[in-house]
Amino acid sequence: MIQLLKPELLELIEKKDWVALKESLQDVPSVDIAELIEEIDPEKAVVIFRLLKKQKAGEVFSHLSNTKEMQLLDMLTKRQLAEVMSNLEPDDIVGIVEELPGHLTQRVLNTLNVEEQQEIKQMLGYPKESVGRQMTSKYVKVKSDWTVERAMRHIRKFGFSAETVNVIYVVDDNEKLIDDLRLTQLILANPQDKIGDITDDSFVALNAFDDQEVAVKMFSKYDRVALPVMDSEGVLIGILTVDDVIDIAREEATEDFHKGAAVAPLKTTYRETSVWSLFSKRIAWLIILVFVNLLSSGVIEYYEEVLASAIALAFFIPLLIDSGGNTGAQSATIMVRSLAMGDVKLSHWLRVTGKEIFVGLALGLGMGFASAVLGLFRGGWEIGLVVGLSMVAIVLVANLIGTILPFLLTKFKIDPAVASSPLITTIVDVTGLLIYFSIAAIVFQEVI
């Protein structure tokens, strides 16, 4: 949609027809306006931004990248900045502040009142990827001794400032969470009933110190639009909504994709990332893998006499180590995802390993038979035997490495996504060559 309107909007900016531009922007979704602002010069972007209504400006700002946010913050007046911040959720402000340089952070905080500043600083005090950084304090709470009628009046009065009224939270006099109620439960209840009469004291809640990945799993498991966030004493301090969880899930998936390719996760979008940053995110792992690959050269050198006695063995090295690497990468990908989704627990490692032994053996036998036929035609029955047996063993071992490594990493509190395809294939390369030449040495009766 925005691509169709873009020429028209840019033309209105060139003509300085601010009235027509303001009218044109009214019906454009916030996310589309943010996309437009990302693509144009900062000077033009700030013109568009200043024409937006306060609430819409806040929504647009929350969709912008870190780079564009900083550009606009530098160009907005103190009053305009205050208007934008007043229409942002606390978790959005926290997300902005933690990425800003010091002078801009202070500018943002100075636009907030004392109470808002305290709330932002409190949220910044939680670990970086915790639920406490993502929650909002804009929710509706009621007391258990209120009538349904009084609760509905309260919701009508304060619901406009809440992030959601789909769920209402019941607390006691000490602000401890008692229950959460769906709005439909209140609507369908007798107005004279007490809130305590329609609660069952059964609820699902998050702790402010929980990792944000825990929140994603909880929302998926319980199918909620919002979950309450408590402190260690059970006091309700905020809520987390499904739109924030979707953002978290996207970030976590992106991070796992990067780790799965042996790339340190990018902190910004690819478009905003510099050449130097892309280089630095990738070079460390690649250098490590270079040194690990030296082991492969050492194995070939060690079995040089075996290779010299049957040069046809060299033809099948790429076939065997590539097959092993592919098998290991497949099993690692399946296992990393299963662990991340909670489908497999750390305690299941023995049962999973047993299952994957049969899977690896079946794969190895199928691929081994095909490889043996190729070896037979290329170098005779000895080569066929060596290649076939090696393929079975390599695929079986590679499958087990790809299965077990994510469990080991999880055991030692390391993200299992680090079990990346490059890492797995490099380990399997070395292991595969050892297996291949060991079998060849036995078959050809070479004494090393």
Strands 167-171 and 141-143, bridge-based pairing: parallel
Measured in whole angstroms, the distance separating CA 363 from the mean position of its chain's CA atoms is: 32
Residues 389-441 have pLDDT tens digits of: 999 999 999 999 999 988 988 888 777 766 566 778 888 888 999 999 989 98
**Please, are residues 240 and 206 in contact by the beta-carbon 8 Å criterion?**
yes
Cβ-proximal residues to 243 (8 Å cutoff; 6+ apart), any chain: none
Compute, in degrees rounded to 10, the torsion defined by CA atoms 394, 258, 256, 243. -160
| pTM listed for this prediction | 0.62
Number of neighbouring beta carbons within 10 Å of residue 141: 19
Half-sphere exposure of 171 (CA within 13 A, CB side): 19
Q: Are residues 233 and 115 in the same domain?
A: no
Instruction: Evaluate whether residue 133 is within a structural domain.
Output: no
3-class DSSP assignment, residue 187: helix
Strands 206-207 and 226-230, bridge-based pairing: parallel
Residues 84-113 have pLDDT tens digits of: 787 777 878 887 777 777 667 777 878 888
* pLDDT range class, residue 194, cuts 50, 70, 90: very high
pLDDT computed for residue 2 by the predictor: 58
**What residues make up the domain containing 73?**
2-125
User: Between these two residues, 109 and 130, which has the higher pLDDT value?
Assistant: 130
Q: Are residues 160 and 209 in the same domain?
A: yes
Cβ-proximal residues to 43 (8 Å cutoff; 6+ apart), any chain: none
Instruction: Evaluate whether residue 258 is within a structural domain.
Output: no
CATH code of the domain in which 208 resides: 3.10.580.10
CATH code of the domain in which 422 resides: 1.10.357.20
Q: What is the DSSP letter of 266?
A: P
* pLDDT range class, residue 366, cuts 50, 70, 90: very high
Cβ-proximal residues to 355 (8 Å cutoff; 6+ apart), any chain: none
Domain boundary among 250, 280, 314: 250
Cβ-proximal residues to 118 (8 Å cutoff; 6+ apart), any chain: none
